[in-house]
Amino acid sequence: MTNRILLVNGPNLNLLGTREPAVYGHETLADVEALVAKTAAARGFEVRAVQSNHEGVLIDAIHAARTDCAGIVINPGGLTHTSVVLRDALSGVALPVAEIHISDVHAREEFRHHSYIHDVAVVHVIGEGVAGYASAVNQLADAITQS
């Protein structure tokens, strides 16, 4: 078994820390990546991180993960609610997936209530802020080591 986790952050997450801080907080994407790396290392995993505003880049990273990653932590951003192809990529690589959302998407606009990722993820962390990434990593590590 490989000891690597792929961290995927979707569109607009590069703006963390400056984009709508009342919703997303003041932590930056670099803070998220550092938290995930530290949490994963404590569980014996390394992390490869990717963020893109381009769906195809995210899909290519997910496809590549099937050969050298044990699982995927993903915050798909707005693609959560629109992207069947992102869902199909996650399903197609047959790796355990943790879906993370910084805000409580169920307390926001109606269109954010549906997730195309939900049914392919074994872990769901919603509305815990940036700290939710650590929870997602720990829950995913549990799922990986128990399988």
User: Is 81 labeled as ligand-binding?
Assistant: yes
User: Is 75 labeled as ligand-binding?
Assistant: yes
- Work out how many domains the chain is built from and give that number: 1
Question: How is residue 83 annotated by DSSP?
Answer: -
User: Is 43 labeled as ligand-binding?
Assistant: no
**Residues 53-84: pLDDT tens digits?**
999 999 999 999 999 999 999 999 989 988 99
Active site includes 101? yes
In a domain, 46, yes or no: yes
Whole domain around residue 79: which residue ranges? 4-29+39-146
87 in helix, strand or coil?
A: helix
In a domain, 91, yes or no: yes
The CATH number covering residue 110 comes to 3.40.50.9100
Alpha-carbon torsion 57, 121, 44, 35, what sign?
positive
Contact 118, 77 (CB under 8 A): no
Burial of 73 (0-12, 13-18, 19+ CB in 10 A): buried
- Please give the radius of gyration of the chain, using alpha carbons only, rounded to the nearest integer: 14
pLDDT attached to residue 94: 95
In a domain, 101, yes or no: yes
Nearest to 78 by CA among 47, 48, 117, 107: 117
User: Is 3 labeled as ligand-binding?
Assistant: no
4 in helix, strand or coil?
A: strand
Catalytic residue, from 26, 54, 101, 114: name it. Answer: 101
**Residues with pLDDT less than 70, the chain:** 1, 107-109, 111-113, 147
pLDDT attached to residue 61: 98
pTM over 0.85: yes
In a domain, 109, yes or no: yes
In a domain, 102, yes or no: yes
pLDDT attached to residue 1: 59
pLDDT attached to residue 114: 80
In a domain, 34, yes or no: no
Active site includes 24? yes
- For tokens 């569109």, name the residue: 11
Nearest to 61 by CA among 48, 76, 70: 48
- For tokens 């790396």, name the residue: 37
